Amino acid sequence: HHDHPYLRLLEKMPCVPTGRTLKTGRQTMLPHTPLTSTPPENAMIDNQRLPQHIAIIMDGNGRWAQARGMVRSKGHQAGVEAVDKITSECSRLGIRFLTLYTFSTENWNRPPEEVNAIMQLLITSLVEETFMKNNVRMRVIGDRERLAPEVRKCIEDCEKHTSENTGLTLVIALSYSSRWEITDAMKHIAQKVKDGTLEPDDINEQTIAENLESHFMPDPELLIRTGGEQRISNYLLWQCAYSELYFTDIFWPDFDEKALYNAIEDYQHRERRFGKTSAQVKADTGLQQTV
Ligand code: FPP
């Protein structure tokens, strides 16, 4: 299956997002015009080798609040400020996609007061003007059917109104889990087989990627988890197959621009091999530089 022409194409052009729509021949390349692409003077990051997609597991809001003798929802409130800060900075750097794990399928099991507080916070934080001002396109991935109608309406309006923006795409994973997403994709694929529009033998990795709800985004090169745990917690399991993982003890409300540069700097020191040997990778990079 690695010989599939799409996969070869994608390997050569990692910035082309995969899409459900590829099959029908519709244009899937999202336009992108970063604001600027200048890292601050003191940051040791190379703006030529920035990841195009950063995914974040924002953990530690509750512990941040508890450490200050506050209720957990205060931690989520402070978390929104970190979301603002990191979204602006990614946008400024010219990162194309930022995917934030905002509420997992498992989070529905939290006390109803906390669930409500997070949902309310979400509604008040998704301020369209801010997205418009910053040219940010907002998308949600997750099981919308479980969301309250007013939350659903809010995100759908926001998605619609920001859909033409060409800066950063901010992807909010809400009522999301990777196993849910993959299961949902399997249902779509099974239906196509049942309808006779798809042969089981024709199913390949691209078919699965195209049927994921997150089909519009390229795989993240960098996955950051704050809050000290070292787990993936059912987040982007398919998409993170080759992602570099970065864990920090910093609680999400304290994660700032400097912490983001540290993560990017760490990522830039790693060698991404995709199963090849180090010598092959070095030869490939050498080749690219001479072409
Ligand atoms: C994890 O911390 C965080 C969450 C479950 C919620 C994250 C939500 C926000 C930051 C608000 C969303 C707003 C926007 C605009 C995206 P935790 O509560 O699990 O912390 P703990 O591990 O310390 O208990």
Residue pLDDT tens, the chain, 291 long:
343 333 333 333 333 333 333 333 333 456 776 655 565 666 789 989 999 999 999 999 999 999 999 999 999 999 999 999 999 999 999 999 999 999 999 999 999 999 999 999 999 999 888 899 999 999 999 999 999 999 999 999 999 999 999 999 999 999 999 999 999 999 999 999 999 999 999 999 999 999 999 999 999 999 999 999 999 999 999 999 999 999 999 999 999 999 999 999 999 999 778 888 888 888 887 765 543
- Burial 65-93, CB ≥16 within 10 A → b, else e: beeeeeebbbbbbbbbebbeebbbbbbbb
Q: Is 243 in the pocket of ligand 1 (CB under 6 A)?
A: no
Q: How many angstroms separate the alpha carbon of residue 200 from the centre of ligand 1? A: 40
Q: Among 66, 76, 99, 141, which is best to mutate for testing ligand 1, by the most ligand atoms less than 8 A from CB?
A: 76
**Is there a contact between 61 and 252 (Cβ–Cβ < 8 Å)?**
yes
Helix residue ranges per DSSP H, 163-232: 178-195, 205-211
* Catalytic site includes residue 107: yes
- Residue for token pair 């040219």: 135
Q: Can you give the pTM of this predicted structure?
A: 0.85
Catalytic residue among 42, 46, 107, 135: 107
